[in-house]
Amino acid sequence: MLISKTVSTSTAETVQRTHVFHIEGYSQQRGFGRFIRSTKFSVGGNKWVAFIYPDRIKLLKAANGVEEHHVVAGVATGPLNPMVRPSYELRLVNQMSGLSFSVHKAAALKDHNRGDVHGHYACFLVKRSVLEAPTVLQHDRLTMEWIVTLTKQPRKPEAISFPKIEMHFAKLLEEKEGVDIEFSVEGMNFAAHKMILATRSPVFKAELCGPLKEVGTEPVNVANTLALADQHHCDNLKDACIEFMASSSIMDVVAATQGFKNLKRTCPSVIVEALEKTSRLRVE
C-alpha cells in the first residue's frame, strides 16, 4: 500500500515597474502654478502617472529647529482592484555618478473621488535642497525614478498529493523491477537494488561500487562484508557477520572463499577476532 502526503504553498504574486521621468528645463517649468506630469505608464493593468509640484513650497521645521523648504511630489492611478496592495518609491538620479538614491518609500494611497473620476493617489514632501542639489539638478535637467509595486493577495493554495519516494522504491522491490543483487541467508534469498544499498551504507557502497564490488547478481560474500564493516567501524554489522558465520555452521564454506583469503592477508586481526567470537558463540 502506498502512503501519500500532501503539500501546499501560498505565494504572493508581485508586479513591479520602474518609470524613469526626465524633466528638461526644470527652472523654466516653474512659475506656472501647475504640476509637472510624466506620461502614463502601465503597472499591473493600471495606468499610472508621476508628478511634481515645484511651485507648491512648504516650510517644515527640522529637528534642529531650522525651517526647510519642501516640494510636493506623488503618483496617481485609476481604480485599483481591492485584492491588490500597492507600494511606491521615488529615487533621484545623481547626474555625476549615474546612480540613483531613495528619497521616499511608502505604501499608503488615498482615494480620489471627484464627480465621475475615481482613483487613488499619494502625495509627499521632498526637501528642495535635495531635489535641487548640484549633483541632482544639472544643466537644468532632473531625472526621477518612480518604482511602483503591486502585491496581489495570494490565491487559495491547492494541496498536491504524492507518495513518499521510499514507497516507490518499496514497490519496485516488491515487483522485483531493476533488482541487481541478492543476499542468501540460511537458504533464503533476498533481492535488492545496489544503488539503494550504496546510498544507505558506506560498507555496501565500498563493496558494491568500490574495488571489491561483486559482479552480476552473485550472493554477497560475507567475508568481504566483514572486512568492510571493520574498516568503516560498523560494529553492529561486524558482529552480525560473525554471528552469522558461527550460527549457520558455514565457517568452512566461508573460509574457502576468495574473500576470506583476502581478509586473512589484509586484516589478520579481524580473522582472530572473528574466530574468538565464533568460539564463544558456539560455547554459549
What is the predicted pLDDT for the residue at 247? 61
Task: Work out the number of other CB atoms within 10 angstroms of the CB of residue 70.
Answer: 19
What is the predicted pLDDT for the residue at 205? 77
- β-sheet bridge partners, residue 77: 48, 120
What is the predicted pLDDT for the residue at 206? 72
Question: What is 13-152's CATH number, 2.40.110.10, 2.60.210.10, 3.40.30.10, 3.40.50.300?
Answer: 2.60.210.10
What is the C-alpha separation between 170 and 217, in angstroms, rounded?
19
What is the predicted pLDDT for the residue at 217? 41
Q: Give residue for cell 465621475.
A: 116
What is the predicted pLDDT for the residue at 130? 92
**Any idea what DSSP says for residue 219?**
B
Give the CATH number of domain 164-283: 3.30.710
Per-residue pLDDT reduced to its tens digit, 166-198: 677 777 777 788 788 877 766 778 888 888 888
Reading the block at residue 188, the C-alpha cell is 533464503
Domain boundaries, the chain: 13-152, 164-283
What is the predicted pLDDT for the residue at 175? 76
pLDDT tens track, the chain, 284 positions: 445 667 777 777 889 999 999 999 999 998 888 889 999 999 988 899 999 998 888 888 777 788 889 999 999 998 888 888 888 999 999 999 999 999 988 867 777 666 565 788 888 899 999 999 999 999 999 999 999 999 887 777 766 665 666 677 777 777 788 788 877 766 778 888 888 888 877 777 777 776 555 544 444 567 777 777 777 777 777 777 777 776 656 666 677 777 677 767 777 776 666 666 666 655 55
Is-contact 43 49, C-beta < 8 A? no
Per-residue pLDDT reduced to its tens digit, 24-66: 999 999 888 888 999 999 998 889 999 999 888 888 877 778 8
Q: Give residue for cell 475615481.
A: 118
What is the C-alpha separation between 54 and 28, in angstroms, rounded?
11
What is the predicted pLDDT for the residue at 218? 45
Is-contact 214 250, C-beta < 8 A? no
